[in-house]
Amino acid sequence: MMYQYWFLRLAGVGNAKKRSLIEAFGSSEAVYKATRGDLRSYGLLEEGQIQRILEQGKAWDLEGEYRKFCMTGQSLVTLEQKEYPSMLAKVFDAPYGLHFLGELPPENANMVAIVGSRNCSAYGQKMAQDLAKELGRRGYWVISGMARGIDAYAHQGCLDGGGKTVAVLGSGADVCYPRSNQVLYGRIQERGCVLSEYAAGTPPLARQFPARNRIISGMARWVVVVEAREKSGSLITIDYALEQGKDVYAVPGRMTDPLSRGCNGLIAQGAGIITSVEQFISNIEEIEFLGISSHLSCQEEIFLLEKEELLVYSCFDFYPKNIDTVLVESGLELLTLLSIIMNLCDKGYLKEIFKNEYIKCK
């Protein structure tokens, strides 16, 4: 393990080179012990790199550094171990090793990546949560980046559904970024893991975030985009996913909605469309879709509402709408409308997401 940690921290040699070295020498220990002649004989490395490996090998305090690492409480997994996520191992520039807190997904885990924009709408939030919750309930692992917005809701939804989840960070695994997700960060470690290719204590630098996206898409079998603007960072993940040959799905939005333009664009280019949670699951499980959708099935339930309540309920949407708009659409008296809205809120059909702005909950 000490040798693996040394090899992981070895600077100046890229992930692809490290991988070739392991293939050539068999293990990191062999690389550590190799002479200048051995390193040269494979013709993989430039002179400068060989020099660096030898220098760093001498200067490195093998035991001391590894002990220091163990003190941080993090664990380590490298390409040399069979615990290394198998899907990720197939990616050509997969990181040699990963630092993580929590438990790694088992070999046979079905992993779905859910990504999307940080600035999401109430609709995006609901879709991410519903999707992740159902996946979590069915034992899928949801993987995402623990950013604000869709990422956080996907983790949350999955945990709420009783599933396990993986968060791939753009900082060291022990650095919680953004700070506002502190609670979530703790919950993920209990049911799943927080992992990172960066050493403990690495600050969240902007350039590290696009790179971690390749791990998100690399570990997953399916990648879902919930809400993305036309030039969204989430689309970087999709680019990696396509490169890595993963199945890409997108949640469609309204064509006028700039927040869904990226998703709708992906669908136009041939990404899978998610018309309901059940359709998506039957799609990935390769079973026949029975045409049942939980978002539509509550339609039966709403017939229990009174006539006016039904009218008001149907005026609302999964996008926030304010009272004044509904007032005009429904043609009801203001006071009647207010009382109906409050009743619907009590019954859990509507939710106030901002002052006097409501969305459907069912």
Partner 1 sequence: MYSLVHTATICGIDSMMISVEADISNGMPMFSMVGFLASEVKESRDRVRTALKNTGFELPVKRITVNFSPANIRKSGAGFDLPVAITILAAMNEVSRERLEQVMLVGELSLEGKIFGVSGVLSMVLCAKEAGMRCCIVPRENEREAKLIPGIDIIGVTSLGEVIWFLNTGEKAIYEEETPEEKKEQNLPCHNFSEINGQQLLRRACEVAISGMHNLLMVGPPGAGKTMVAKCIPSILPPMTLEEQIELSKIYSVCGLFRERESLMEQRPFRNPHHTISEQGLTGGGKEPKPGEISLAHSGVLFLDELTEFRKNTLEVLRQPMEDKEVTIARVNGTYCFPANFVLVAAMNPCNCGYYPDMSRCHCSQPSIQRHMDKLSQPLLDRIDLCVEVSAVGYDDLIRPGGANESSEEIRRRVIRMHQIQKERFEGTDILFNSRIPARELQRYCPLGEKEMAYMEAMYKKMDLTARTYHKIVRVARTIADMDGAKNISRKHLQEAICYRGMDKRYWENCL
List residues near partner 1 by CB under 8 A. Answer: 118-122, 148-149, 180, 256-259, 320, 322-325, 327-328, 334-335, 338-339, 341-343, 346, 351-357
Dig out the tokens for 191 from the structure: 């049911």
For the CB of residue 199, give the shortest distance to partner 1 in the complex, in Å.
Answer: 27
- Provide the minimum distance between the beta carbon of 29 and partner 1 in the complex, in angstroms, as a whole number: 46
Nearest distance from residue 159's CB to partner 1, in Å? Answer: 16
> 357: which strand partners?
322, 354
CB of 348 to partner 1, least distance (A): 10
> For residue 331, what are the CA distances in angstroms to 308, 310, 311, 312?
11, 14, 10, 10
Q: Which residues lie across from 321 on neighbouring strands?
A: 358
Cβ at position 214, least distance to partner 1 in Å: 25
- Structure tokens that stand for 277 in this block: 């949670």
Neighbours of 311 (CB within 10 A): 17
Residue among 314 and 325 whose Cβ is closer to partner 1:
325
Which CB, 91 or 122, lies closer to partner 1? 122
Least separation in angstroms between CB 18 and partner 1 = 37
Contact criterion met (CB below 8 Å) for 114 and 142: yes
DSSP states along 38-96: HHHHT--S-HHHHHHHHHHHHH--HHHHHHHHHHTT-EEEETTSTTS-HHHHTSTT--S
**What's the token pair of residue 108?**
């046979």
41 vs 336, beta carbon nearer partner 1: 336
**Closer residue to partner 1, CB minimum distance, 300 or 346:** 346
Nearer of residues 290 and 328 to partner 1, judged by Cβ:
328
Nearer to partner 1, 26 or 331 (CB): 331
Residue 246: name the closest of 127, 121, 93, 87 by CA: 87
Task: Classify the C-alpha dihedral 43-10-24-98 as positive or negative.
Answer: negative
Nearer to partner 1, 57 or 265 (CB): 265
CA distance 171 to 174: 8
- Least distance to partner 1 from the beta carbon of 145, Å? 15
